[in-house]
Chain A
Amino acid sequence: MSDRWVAVLSGGLSHERDVSLRSGRRLSAALRSTGLTVTELDADHELLNRLSIERPEAVLVALHGGEGENGAIQSILELLDIPYAGTDPRACRRAWDKPTAKAELARAGLPTPEWMVLPQSTFRELGAHPVLDALVDKIGLPLMLKPVQGGSALGARVVRESSELPSAMMGAFSYGDTVLVEKLVEGTELAIGVLEDSEGPHALPAVRIEPSKGIFDYTARYTAGLTSYQAPAELSEGVARRAAELAVSAHRLLGLRDLSRTDAIVDESGEVHFLEVNVSPGLTATSLMPMGIEAAGRGLGEVFDGLIERAIDGRD
C-alpha cells in the first residue's frame, strides 16, 4: 500500500474527451483502492497553476488524443519538474503520428500494411479524382482510412469500393487535415499491451477482438456487449511470440517508456502486422489495456502504482 498523492489528468479538448474522462475515473478509482490519494484534473486553463502550486508527487496522463498523446502535456510536466508515468515528449510525438511510427517499424523490417499519407491540400490542388484513382491503382482495394492522429477509431473507415472513397475521405478529413491511407489487411485483430519494469519492456497477453458487426468502430468499442474479446487470445505459439515481439519492438524502436499498447492484425498466413501504437491507451471498462493487465493476473491499480514508483524513484 502506498500513501502517495498523485494527480490523474483526463478530459482535455480533443474529440476523445469523453473516453478520456472515463479512463481517468477508472484509473483514479483503481489507484484509490490501492491506498493512494488521487486528484483528478482536467487539462484546462487552471492546470498549470494547480500543478505548480499543489505539486502532486507524480502525474498520470489519461488524456487521449491531442495534448495527452502528442507530448505537449509531458513537456509541461518536465518544465514543472513533476515526475510522470509514461513516454517522454519526443517519443510521444513519434508514436502519435501514425505514419512516423509505421515508417520507423518498416525501417526495422517489421511488417506494417502498405500506406500513403495525404493532406487535404493535395486534393484541393490536384483534384480529388486523379489522386484517388492513382491511390487505388497503387495500393489497391480494400483500403483503411484514418486521420494520421487520434484514436478511438474516430474518422476511420474501411473502403471496399472506389465509389466509397470520396465520402470516406471527407469523413476522415472532418477529424483532421491529413489522412493515412493503408492497405486493409484482413484477419484477427489483436491489442498487445507492454509494461516496462527494471528489466525492460514485457508484452502482456494479447487481447483478441471480434466486433459483432465486423468493424471495431466507436460504438463497437464502447458498448459493452457489441464486441467479443478473448484475453489471453488463443493463438499459435508462433503467432503469440511474433505478436509479443512486435509490441516490444515498437515500444523499444520508438523509445516509449513505462507502458504502451500496440494494435496489430494477424493475416491468414500468421504474419502479424503493426497498425499503430498508443502511449496513453484507453483505460475504460471496455478498453483493451486493462484486459491485457487482467489476463496477466495483475490489477490496474497495482500496475499504475508500480509505474508511479518508477517515475518518482527513477527508472534504472
Chain B
Amino acid sequence: MKRRTLLGGTFAVAMFGLASTALAQQPIKIGMSMAQTGGLAGGGKASLLGIEVWRDDVNARGGLLGRKVELVVYDDKSSASETPAIYSKLLDVDKVDILFAPYATVPTAPLMPLVKQRGMLLMGNFSFQVNSKVGHDMWFNNAPWGPADSWASSFLDLGQKAGGKSIALLAADQEFAQNLAKTAREVATKLGMQVVFDQAYPPSTVEFSGILRALKAAKPDIVYVASYPPDSAGILRAVNEIGIGDNVKLFGGGMVGLQFGTVMENLGSLLNGVVNYNTWLPEPNMYNEGTKAFFETYTKRAVEAKVDPLGYYLAPYGYASGQMIEQAIKAVGSLDQKALAKYLRENTHKTIVGPITFAADGEWKESGVVQAQFRGIKDKNIEQFRTPGRQVILFPAKLKSGDLITPFEAARK
C-alpha cells in the first residue's frame, strides 16, 4: 500500500512537473485579423510582414517570459463585417494572450465595443479616430496620427504660408476620408480660409475628369484631397491630362496609396509636385536604432512574398507594435492586460520609428505625420524612391529636409 502511494505520489509530481514545463513552453499567442485579400490587402500584407519580422527577431532573442511568440492571423478580406466574429474566435477558441488590431479604420471600428467589454488591450494598426467615441482606455494606436486635426492643419498651414486663401476639398465618400475632410473643414474655418469647392465622390468612381473640371472652375488656391488608392491614381491621371489651374499653390494632403511602392511606381512622374501626408520616409532624419537593419530584412522577404518592396508606410510601424508590446511584457513580467496597458500609457517607448508616447485617448501624444513633396520622379522605377530627396519633408520642422516648391504647376515640371 505504502509503495503504491509512493509510486502514485512520484507519478503526480512528475505529471505536475511535465505540465508546468509544458505551460512554460506554450507560446505567447498574439491574435489578429489582417486584410490579405480585398482593397486593403496591399497594406495589410506589408504590415503583417513587419510584425512577422519582429516575431522572428524576438524569438531569436529567446522569446518573451521564456516562451516563444506565435502569431494567430486570419484574413478579414478588408471587410468590417468579418472582424467581430474573427476576434471572438481569437478570444474564445484560440485563447490568444494579446490582441493586435487589423490594418485600417473600417475593419477596426466594429471591434472596439467587443474589446472594451472583454477588458482586452488592443494595439491599433493605422486606424483613424476609432477610439474617439468608444473611449477604451486600453487602446494604443501604432500610427503616428496624433491629435485628430494635426493632419489637416499641417497641410493647410503650408498652404497658407505659400499665400493660399481659398481651399477646395475633394474626399471619397467613406468613413476615413470623410473624417479627414471634416477636420480640414474645421481647420480651414479656423485659419479664415474660404472653402470654394467641397465634394464627396463615391468609391466606385471610374473617371475623374468631370469632377476635376468642376474643381478647376472654382479656382482654389489649395486643393486638399482625401482619397483611397484606386481613386488617388485616377485623380492624378486626370490632373495630368486636364490640368488643375495656375492658381493652385498646394495639391494633395490626404491621398492614401501614394505611400505604396507599386502605386508610386505606376504613377511615376505624375507624382511630381504633389504634397502628401506620409509616415516613414528614407530621409536623413528618419533613421533610429534598428531602422536600417529592419529594412534590410524586410526588403529581402518582401520580394519573396510579393509584398510592397518598399514598405515604408506600414511595415516599420507593425514592427514597432511588436517592440512596444515586447517592452511592456518585459517590464511588467506578466501578460496581465491592465498592467500592460498601464505601462504603455505611462512610458515612452523606444522603437525603430522613433520614441512613442501615448496620450489619454491612446493616440500618439505628438503627431509624427510628415507632409512631403514629390520631386524629380521618373516613370517606372521603384528603386528611385529609396534615395533621399525624392520625397522632401516639409513638415514637421524637426524632420524637414527641404522647402516647398510652389505653385503646383511649376512643381510638376
A, B in one complex: no
Task: Please list the residues of chain A having a beta carbon within 8 angstroms of any beta carbon in chain B.
Answer: none
